[in-house]
Every structure is written in C-alpha cells, then in structure tokens.
C-alpha cells in the first residue's frame, strides 16, 4: 500500500490568510495526487487533479504543487466558504489511499 | 447533468451483508471513458476507498477490507452496487458513490453522490 501522510490534521486561520496543507507519499507517485474538499452534509468536491490541475469552476485561490513524494494544497486567501476538511488522495496504484484529512477552522 | 444517488437500508445488523446501489443519471455507466467507485467515511474519521469497477466488470478492491466487498454493474438500469459481507460496528459510515475520470492520465473522483449514512447495530 502507498501511505499518504497529511499535515497538519487541523489548523486555525482567519479570513484572508494564506494556508498550505502538506501531503507526503510513502513511495514516489509522480503527479498522481488529487485534492478534495468535504463539508458536512454535502457531496465531496474535487479541487485539484494531477497534483496541480485546477478543476473547472474551482476558484483560482486554490492551487496544488509537488511531484514524487511531497505535495501541497495552497489557498492563497481564505474565504468564509473555505472552512472545511481537505483530503489528498493518490491514484498511482490500483489500490487508492487518502490522507488523514486537514480540518481548516476559524 | 451528471447525478449519482446512493440508496440502501437505513440499518444493518452485525454479521449481515450491507447492500447499496448507486443510480447514475446524465451519463451512461457503459461509457468507456469512466470508472466508478465506492468510498466511505466512518464517524469522526477520514475517507476510505472501498473499490472501483469498470462497466466491463473489471474490479479493484481495498486490501484492508479482506475480500468482504463485491462491486457489480447493472448496465440496463444504469446502476452499480456494493455488497459488504459480515459487517461489524466498524463498518458504520457514510457511504459515497463516485465517478472516476481521467483515463489516459491521472485518475480522479470528479463527481460524488451526497452519501448515505449506514449504521450497523443490533
């Protein structure tokens, strides 16, 4: 199995802050990383695919970076609707795995 | 417009089989551009991938679930299903179905259902 270690598990931030969430893979996985946003009671939302490709309709304040084993999701300026939990996920192997999640709180 | 909707029982007893169906509208489940998946989130925990299926019946499963899940496709009804045998309280979760896009590149879950909460309890 490829393990995805996400950090931090939670963070407190304010509107307008720049936020970065990290994700480290246990093996090199090229750019096979996706990022999702989860809010209670709502369908999860794809933000970034292929480590850095912004999904259509996702605000440009979201960006992804990294390759190999180290990846990051950055929100350049937090908006109120961005308070949620974020997950990285690898699709390099046929056995997919998610990171543990990062809860972004006020 | 693509929509995915999970359906199934409101409660499952320990040792029984959990059976869920995902009804897909807006795209044919036989479209060779897509795979289909089940993911779950236990209370207070993170997301866990359960398995993936192609319209041809090709499947991939999470090894951590030890041969308990079975995914199937019903192309006539445009649905795919999950059966999870020998459930315990640890299988209590919100279960999501989702579409996988990106063949030829990096696969990703681009559309999800709203999720269905399934408690396992006697």
Q: Could you tell me how far CA A60 lies from the centroid of its own chain?
A: 14
Q: Which of residues 22-61 of B touch A (CB under 8 A)?
A: 37, 41, 46-49, 52, 60
Residue A77 has pLDDT above 90, yes or no: yes
For chain A, the residues whose C-beta falls within 8 A of a C-beta of chain B are 1, 31-34, 36, 38, 42-46, 49-51, 53, 55, 87, 89, 91, 94-101
Whether A48 has a pLDDT exceeding 90, the answer reads: yes
**What's the gap between Cα A87 and its chain centre?**
5
The mean per-residue pLDDT over the stretch A87-93 comes to 96
pLDDT in tens, B1-38: 999 999 999 899 999 999 999 999 999 999 999 999 99
pLDDT band at B102 (very low <50, low <70, confident <90, very high): confident
Query: A36 to chain B: which residues are within 8 Å by CB?
Result: 47, 109
Min Cα separation B63/chain A (Å): 8
Task: State residue B24's pLDDT score.
Answer: 98
A:B CB pairs within 8 Å: 69
Q: Distance (Å, rounded) from C-alpha B15 to C-alpha A40? A: 29
């Amino acid at each position: 199995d490829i393990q995805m270690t996400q950090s931090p598990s939670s963070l407190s931030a304010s509107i307008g802050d720049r936020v970065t969430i990290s994700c480290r893979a246990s093996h090199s996985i090229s750019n096979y990383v996706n990022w999702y946003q989860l809010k209670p009671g709502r369908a999860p939302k794809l933000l970034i695919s292929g480590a850095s490709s912004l999904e259509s309709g996702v605000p440009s304040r979201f960006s992804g970076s990294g390759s190999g084993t180290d990846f990051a999701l950055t929100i350049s300026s937090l908006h109120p609707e961005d308070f949620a939990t974020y997950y990285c996920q690898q699709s390099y192997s046929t056995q997919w795995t998610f990171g543990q999640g990062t809860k972004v709180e006020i | 417009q693509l929509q995915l909707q999970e359906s199934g029982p409101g409660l499952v007893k320990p040792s029984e089989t959990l059976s869920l169906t995902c009804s897909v509208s807006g795209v044919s489940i036989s479209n060779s551009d897509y795979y289909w998946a089940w993911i779950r989130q236990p209370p207070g925990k993170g997301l866990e991938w359960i398995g993936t299926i192609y319209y041809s019946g090709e499947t991939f499963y999470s090894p951590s679930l030890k041969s308990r899940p079975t995914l199937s496709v019903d192309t006539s009804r445009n649905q795919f299903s999950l059966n999870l045998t020998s459930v315990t309280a640890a299988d209590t979760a919100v279960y999501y179905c989702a579409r996988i896009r990106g063949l030829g590149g990096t696969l990703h879950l681009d559309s999800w259902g709203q999720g269905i909460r399934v408690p396992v309890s006697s």
